Amino acid sequence: MAAGEARSGAEGVGRVHVLAIVGPTAVGKTALGVRVGRALGGEIVSADSRQIYRQMDIGTAKATPAEQAAVPHHLIDVVSPDESLTLAHYQALASRAIEEIWSRGRLPILVGGTGLYVRALLEGWTIPQAPPDEALRARLEREAEVHGAEALHRRLTEVDPEAAARIDARNVRRVIRALEIHAQTGRPASVLQRREPPDWAVLRIGLTMPRAALYARIDARIEAMMAEGLEEEVRALLARGYGLELPAMSGLGYRQIGMYLRGEIDREEGVALIKRHTRRFVRQQYSWFRLDDPAIHWYDARDLDLDAVLGAVRAFLARP
């Protein structure tokens, strides 16, 4: 019956319908995705830039084995911690997964809090063909370390003011990527990054809650991660040779626990840093998923009415 509900929407003209569940970390997106997937015959496509890494399960809050058994998940455990997945590659993999899920008569459910992934995919960003230049990146990273992130951002302002206006100076990785694109192509990234949205019908559902309640939930989740073995997970990654300089290891939890394991801070300070940086990350997420965005249908995660959500999704699937 559940699969039939999704399949009925896939028959006929066959226009792809996509449900996107977005919102800040720890708000309950994964749990809702699984519940909707089970009820309506869906499959989840992850939109989380940390869950792409293998061997990094606890700190990235991946769906549990039981959740993954209940509803198929895609784009989890795609690369090793010392490998990279470009935005263009993610976009291609996610697009293909969504098209294939729909072609099987199932509902594609995009779930995640990485705003860059979600918007690039659903808005059809054209990603410039500029492969990573590790030597250039290393030079720019050293420049940021020596002269500060603001100096690197000012350099971007000189060659691509539009991109600089969009990118927070503290987001050194994105600043470097924009400079890399300009260096390789001779053209501003903002000019090359056109948008050609895919011909999909998209329903965006957002989960939120008052900030104080969300912060309390985040603190509880981090304490649970520590109890579940986050320290042991980081220790094992370091033992396999995955150093803290890797982009994968810069994620929330991994760098802070790594610093503790190297004796740079104590354990209590490491946990406190994870909580503080996660709160900062939440503020960044709300800049991607704005509460006043008319395209997102927001629900309070504290007293979520699953029947209301399912009703909205069924009505969406019934539209041509």
pLDDT, tens digit (0-9, with 9 covering 90-100), for 88-122: 899 999 999 999 999 999 999 999 999 999 999 99
Residue for token pair 């309506």: 40
Average pLDDT over residues 188-204: 86
pLDDT of 191 reads: 75
Structure tokens at 5: 């509900």
Query: What is d(CA 132, CA 149) in angstroms, rounded to the nearest whole number?
Result: 20
Query: What is d(CA 82, CA 265) in angstroms, rounded to the nearest whole number?
Result: 25
Q: Is the pLDDT of residue 187 over 90?
A: no
| Neighbour order of strands in the sheet with 107-111 | 73-74, 42-46, 107-111, 17-22, 201-208, 296-300
Q: Round the average pLDDT of the chain to a whole number and report it.
A: 93
Helix axes 115-122, 87-103, angle to 10 degrees: 60
Longest dimension (CA), the chain: 62
Other Cβ atoms within 10 Å of 20 Cβ, number = 25
DSSP secondary structure string, the chain?
-HHHHHHHHHSTT---EEEEEE-STTSSHHHHHHHHHHHHTEEEEE--SSTTBTT--TTTTPPPHHHHHHS-EESSS-B-TTS---HHHHHHHHHHHHHHHHHTT-EEEEE-S-HHHHHHHHTTB--------HHHHHHHHHHHHHH-HHHHHHHHHHH-HHHHHHS-TT-HHHHHHHHHHHHHHSS-HHHH--B---S-EEEEEEEE--HHHHHHHHHHHHHHHHHHTHHHHHHHHHHTT--TTSGGGGSTTHHHHHHHHTTSS-HHHHHHHHHHHHHHHHHHHHHHS-TT-TTEEEEEGGG--HHHHHHHHHHHHH--
CATH number given to 2-127+195-210+289-318: 3.40.50.300
Q: Label residue 105 exposed, middle or buried (CB < 10 Å: 0-12, 13-18, 19+).
A: middle
Architecture of the domain whose range is 211-284: Orthogonal Bundle (1.10)
Q: CATH classification of 134-192, choosing from 1.10.1060.10, 1.10.357.10, 1.10.20.140, 3.40.50.460?
A: 1.10.20.140
pTM over 0.85: no
pLDDT of 6 reads: 64
**Which of residues 188 and 204 earns the better pLDDT score?**
204
pLDDT, tens digit (0-9, with 9 covering 90-100), for 21-54: 999 999 999 999 999 999 999 999 999 999 999 9
Indicate the range of 2-16, 107-121, 185-199, 270-284 predicted with least confidence: 2-16
Domain locations along the chain: 2-127+195-210+289-318, 134-192, 211-284
pLDDT of 9 reads: 43
Bridge partners (DSSP) listed for residue 305: none
Confidence category of residue 131, pLDDT binned at 50, 70, 90: confident
Query: What is d(CA 102, CA 9) in angstroms, rounded to the nearest whole number?
Result: 9
Confidence category of residue 189, pLDDT binned at 50, 70, 90: confident
Indicate the range of 193-207, 271-285, 292-306 predicted with least confidence: 193-207
Query: What is d(CA 138, CA 285) in angstroms, rounded to the nearest whole number?
Result: 27
Question: Above pLDDT 70, what percent of the chain?
Answer: 95
